[in-house]
Structure 1
Amino acid sequence: MADAPDRTAGVVLAYHPTDEIRENISRLLAQVARVFVVNNSPDAASRALLAHFDDDRVEVLEQSGNVGVAAGFNAGMRAALAAGFDFVWIFDQDSTVADGMLEALLRAQSRADLKVGIVGPALRAAETGNVYDADRGQGSAPIEALISSGALFSRPLLEDIGLHDEALFIDYVDHDISLRAGRAGYTNLKVFDTLLDHRFGDSQPARFLWRRVYIANYSPMRHYYTSRNRVIVARRFGPGKWFRDDLRYSVKAWAKVLFCEQGRPKKIGAFFRGLRDGISYRDV
């Protein structure tokens, strides 16, 4: 696996990016052979920000508009596979690439005792520096579902299970592909030896009772897709451990919505529309 970094391409999904994305791309270039930047907001400001990189290993893939997280990641992954890379490492712009992260992921990916599926880093809250309880450990360990950002995919895995489900658009896209890998007999791994600093939504500080908390402040559209896709994925794979973990997270998240966020009526309405459409959704 010594040459694996040279066989790895990075994919970064951009949506109305800020200057921070350029630093993240630079961090990626220190670890991979090439980076495909998928511009999901091809307006003049985004094009200008992404237009000029001093490194010709960066390729910007302009999309027709906001095609969604699933289709955006897929565009970058297809480009990487077509260019001959054997590993694809994907990021959204809410995550920070850490030094040495790819080495740790590839070490886990090369485990001989398992049929390794998707490999991803442990998570740390970018706002507080707090490592989540479920992300504390050593080495690597099996997990049903990983978040997309920071996840490493091998070519054989993708050729076996396919890419992300573009009909989901956003939210639970990562759950779906992770659970498909598990259903196909792969073991997804969380790697505790490296940490991904990640922000959920706007990550704005607020007071909830006596505590300082951070609210995602997602739009009604995000609440719609979260509600709809949770039901779709649960119908596809059943309410396993991933669902119980997600339910605990969702209860906490909705407590913040109901007590700390603005625009609650629209968000609640979007939640119930998503629930309705998830129940009536029919897989093709």
Structure 2
Amino acid sequence: MIGAVLVVYKPDLPLVERLLTRLYGQTEEVVIVDNSPTPHDFSKIITHYHYIHLSSNSGIASAHNAGLIYLLEAGCEYAILLDQDSLIPSDMVFNLSSLLKASNKMKQNVVAIGPRIRCSFSDKKVNPKVQKEVFEYDELVGVTQIIASGMMIDLSALDEIGLKDESLFIDGVDHEWCWRARSMGFDIAKAKNIEMIHRLGDSRSKFVGITYKVGAPIRLYYQFRNILLLSRRAYVPNYWKVRCLFFMPIRFFLNSVMQKNRRKRFGFMLKGIYDGLIGRKGPYDKHWK
């Protein structure tokens, strides 16, 4: 049995409807985890679903974990994680689960598999410039990490790997789980021929001909803090540590000089760096009022 976990925050209902229309009939269970302050009713979009309202917004990791625990208790073998910024093919769940089941029969240790991503901003496939493919087998390519949306997980492995790291709150949560799984001998893979459209970031900006992602100011706090937190962990890939730490001053400059809300962004980045250096974890509101 396969279940889906859809995490929303102050949901854009047309986007949610578009996704759930594509998801309809692909899974036996659908869990909608809502991190919004006020609850939402999705019964006009979907009739059979389980709703979890986390009004305090305890983060994406906490929302994923709540959904995954529900699916485990419901008897699901696999779970697919989604967010409202994704548009999935009408056969994606079946195709991903088929590949995951086939890999297990072939005694491959693949614990999570995701589609190739096409960015909705550029309408281009997202091809990592630094991340190298670990292995290639028929329709699968082994990678070091995949994003959360579109990630299908073999739930039987959670006993050994564990759930998502709630102390990170949001940024880096999906990658950290993949790296942790790989450090325990599991494999993470992408499907060569399955594609999903996904929005990465809120908008795009250019500087000296280079296009970069722009997100909400508060996200800068988590991005800068979590880079410093994750860089201390031995199982996190060195290429990621070097790249993120190298580009941190550049990102600091771009967000404090080249964007709107410069003062606000500057403050969030400084707080993120401070908390990352002293090892503070969890939600921003826990440490800053």
Range of TM-score over shorter length: 0.7 to 0.9
Question: Percent identity, aligned pairs only?
Answer: 28
The one-letter code of the counterpart of 2:35 is N
Cα–Cα, structure 1 residues 91 and 245, in superposed 2: closer, same or farther, change >3 Å? farther
Partner of 2:229: 232
1:11 to 5, 13, 30: 5
The one-letter code of the counterpart of 1:96 is L
Which whole-Å deviations, capped at 9, do the CAs of 1:82-120 have from their partners, x for residues lacking one? 111010100122222223222332233231252112211
Aligned residues: 270
Partner of 1:3: none
Which whole-Å deviations, capped at 9, do the CAs of 1:31-58 have from their partners, x for residues lacking one? 1112100111042xx514x2434532x2
Cα–Cα, structure 1 residues 127 and 250, in superposed 2: closer, same or farther, change >3 Å? farther
Cα–Cα, structure 1 residues 118 and 248, in superposed 2: closer, same or farther, change >3 Å? farther
CA contact 1:145–1:175 (8 Å) conserved in 2: yes
CA contact 1:217–1:257 (8 Å) conserved in 2: no
Instruction: Tell me whether 1:277 sits opposite 2:275 in the alignment.
Output: yes
The one-letter code of the counterpart of 2:276 is G
Partner of 2:63: 72
Cα–Cα, structure 1 residues 282 and 246, in superposed 2: closer, same or farther, change >3 Å? closer
Partner of 1:47: 40
Which whole-Å deviations, capped at 9, do the CAs of 1:181-223 have from their partners, x for residues lacking one? 01111011122211121112322x5454457x4642322x211
Instruction: Tell me whether 1:22 sits opposite 2:17 in the alignment.
Output: yes
Instruction: Tell me whether 1:151 sits opposite 2:143 in the alignment.
Output: no
Cα–Cα, structure 1 residues 279 and 247, in superposed 2: closer, same or farther, change >3 Å? closer
Cα–Cα, structure 1 residues 238 and 125, in superposed 2: closer, same or farther, change >3 Å? closer
Please give the root-mean-square deviation of Cα atoms over the aligned residues, in Å.
Answer: 2.7
Cα–Cα, structure 1 residues 248 and 120, in superposed 2: closer, same or farther, change >3 Å? farther
2:78 to 77, 87, 92: 87
The one-letter code of the counterpart of 1:275 is I
Partner of 1:202: 202
1:155 Cα offset (Å): 1.6
Is there any run of 5+ residues in structure 1 with no aligned partner, and where? 1-6
CA contact 2:33–2:66 (8 Å) conserved in 1: yes
Partner of 1:4: none
CA contact 2:113–2:190 (8 Å) conserved in 1: yes
Partner of 1:116: 110
Cα–Cα, structure 1 residues 255 and 133, in superposed 2: closer, same or farther, change >3 Å? farther
Please give the TM-score of this superposition, normalised by the length of structure 1: 0.84
1:134 to 125, 128, 131: 128
